């Protein structure tokens, strides 16, 4: 049994490492530091940590001011509050002047679980993608989470949205994986169907590919962990070797990864069908993570069934 990790936990450790490596990294949190795991950074660097209280809008603008003075602030909260609650501050004060602020959106998606719709971010990728100058990242495993956190601290210019989850996943990448901004990683190469996924749906897609193989269907699995800027070349490669493209995300099918891929296909006039899997223009609700994945057809078996139906049609 491989070890499982929640990307939000790995992020906490990676943020601490970023703080050790780069003296300009600072962190802000809005009264959630045990959940967001910035508690580790807080303990190591109390003078570089600011607990803003329950005031996310104030936190976002404060981070902008810090970035304008040359610091690299990491702003932390649940994904929903960071993206939706502070959209105006983020848009005008951070994205417009292209300030280097990293938003670490914790507990993203349905698998936030029992807290229900108010806390389940299913629109955050859509919101972040629409902002000029914004980079949007959704790591698939622990190795990629660490790599992206360190890259966001030091290499990526401008604002970054890092989408983190609490659904446990094994490592899919090898320890020497080198994250490259805007480059998808191909986990499997197939010739019938291409599964393009992000976040913990990448692990689900790997399991789907195994199930499909039993049925004689060969699937590619593409980890589209940079959602903006999108790896158009990877989509073109997938187009060339598949009769069906499938996007899988723990997010609304409106505006997220599925939409981003659809835009590329439409631009190219590609004649390959696209199946977008995710939530279908609905809010979440309270339940366990697995119950919600089941309900929305996002378990490996649910995804497999949708793919088989689409292949048959």
Partner 1 sequence: MRSIPELDRLACEMRLHIVKMLGANKAHHFGGSLSAADLMTGVYFHAMRYDPQNPAWPERDRFVMSKGHCVPVQYAALAMLGVFPLAELATLKQLGTRLQGHPAAHLLLGIEACTGSLGQGLSFSNGMALAGRMQQRDYRLYCLMGDGETHEGQVWEAARTTAHQRLHNVTAIIDRNGLKAMDPSYTPEGLGNLAGRWAALGWVVREIDGHNMTEIVDALDWAQAEDQAPCVILASTVKGRGVSFLEGQAQYHNAALSPEQITAAVAELEARVAQMAEEQVR
> Residues 239, 191: contact at Cβ < 8 Å?
no
User: Closest distance between partner 1 and the C-beta of residue 93, in Å?
Assistant: 5
Q: Is 38 or 259 the residue whose CB approaches partner 1 more closely?
A: 38
Q: Which part of the chain contacts partner 1 (CB under 8 A), choosing from 8-16, 46-54, 254-262, 276-284?
A: 46-54
Residue found by looking up tokens 């190469």 in the block: 189
Residue closer to partner 1 by CB (options 92, 240) is 92
Is 27 a binding residue for partner 1 by CB under 8 A? The answer is: no
Determine the size of the site formed for partner 1 (CB under 8 A). Answer: 29
Candidates 14, 50, 197, 292: give the one binding partner 1 (CB under 8 A).
50
Q: Which one of residues 26, 104, 122, 160 is an interface residue with partner 1 (CB under 8 A)?
A: 26
Among the candidate windows 33-41, 51-59, 240-248, 290-298, which touches partner 1 by CB under 8 A?
51-59
* Distance, C-alpha 167 to centroid of its chain: 12
Using rule CB under 8 A, residue 186 touches partner 1: no
53 binds partner 1 (CB under 8 A): yes
Q: How far is the CB of 151 from partner 1 (least distance, A)?
A: 23
* Region 80-109 residues binding partner 1, contact defined as CB under 8 A: 88-89, 92-93, 96-98
Q: Which of residues 255-274 bind partner 1 (CB under 8 A)?
A: none
| Residue 57: CB minimum distance to partner 1, A | 5
Which sign does the torsion angle of CA 84, 88, 91, 94 carry?
negative
Contacts 24+ apart (CB under 8 A), 151-157: 151/179, 151/181, 152/18, 152/74, 152/102, 153/18, 153/21, 153/22, 153/25, 153/72, 153/74, 153/102, 154/18, 154/21, 154/22, 154/72, 155/181, 156/100, 156/181, 157/98, 157/100
Q: Which is nearer to partner 1, 59 or 196 (CB)?
A: 59
Question: Which long-range CB contacts under 8 A does 88-92 form with residues at least 24 apart?
Answer: 88/57, 89/57, 89/60, 89/61, 89/64, 90/60, 90/131, 90/159, 91/131
CB of 115 to partner 1, least distance (A): 23
Q: Is 6 left (phi over 0), alpha (psi -120 to 50) or beta?
A: beta
Which of 16, 27, 71, 152 forms a contact with partner 1 (CB under 8 A)?
A: 71
How far apart CA 283 and CA 286 sit, in angstroms, is 10
C-beta of 54 vs 191, nearer to partner 1: 54
Contacts 24+ apart (CB under 8 A), 205-214: 205/248, 205/303, 206/172, 207/300, 208/248, 208/300, 208/303, 208/304, 208/307, 211/300, 211/301, 211/304, 212/304, 212/307, 212/308
Does 114 engage in binding with partner 1 (CB under 8 A)? no
Q: How far is the CB of 247 from partner 1 (least distance, A)?
A: 33
Cβ at position 299, least distance to partner 1 in Å: 41
**CB 56 → partner 1: shortest distance, Å?**
9
Site residues (vs partner 1, CB under 8 A): 26, 47-48, 50, 52-53, 55, 57-58, 60-71, 73, 88-89, 92-93, 96-98
């Amino acid at each position: 049994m491989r070890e499982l990790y929640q990307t939000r936990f790995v992020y906490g450790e990676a943020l601490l490492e970023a703080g050790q490596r780069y003296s300009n990294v600072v962190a802000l949190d809005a009264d959630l530091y045990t959940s967001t795991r910035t508690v580790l950074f807080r303990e190591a660097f109390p003078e570089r940590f600011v607990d803003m209280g329950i005031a996310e809008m104030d936190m976002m603008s404060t981070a902008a001011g810090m970035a304008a003075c040359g610091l690299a602030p990491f702003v932390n909260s649940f994904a929903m509050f960071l993206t939706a609650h502070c959209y105006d501050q983020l848009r005008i004060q951070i994205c417009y002047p292209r300030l280097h602020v990293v938003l670490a959106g914790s507990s993203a998606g349905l698998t936030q679980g029992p807290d229900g719709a108010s806390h389940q971010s299913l629109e955050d990728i859509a919101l972040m993608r629409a902002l000029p100058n914004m980079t949007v990242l959704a790591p698939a495993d622990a190795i990629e989470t660490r790599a992206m956190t360190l890259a966001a601290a030091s290499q990526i210019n401008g604002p970054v949205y890092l989408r983190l989850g609490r659904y446990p996943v094994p490592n899919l990448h090898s320890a020497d994986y080198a994250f490259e901004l805007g480059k998808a990683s191909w986990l499997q190469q197939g010739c019938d169907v291409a599964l393009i996924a992000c976040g913990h749906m990448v692990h689900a897609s790997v399991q789907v590919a195994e199930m499909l193989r039993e049925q004689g269907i060969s699937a590619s699995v593409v980890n589209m962990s940079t959602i903006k800027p999108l790896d158009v070349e990877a989509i073109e490669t997938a187009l060339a070797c598949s009769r069906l493209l499938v996007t899988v995300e723990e997010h609304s099918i409106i505006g997220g990864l599925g939409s981003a891929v659809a835009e590329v296909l439409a631009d190219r006039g590609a004649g390959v069908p696209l199946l977008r899997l995710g939530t279908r223009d609905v809010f979440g609700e309270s339940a366990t993570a697995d119950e919600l994945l089941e309900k929305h057809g996002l378990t490996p078996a649910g995804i497999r069934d949708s793919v088989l139906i689409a292949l048959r049609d």
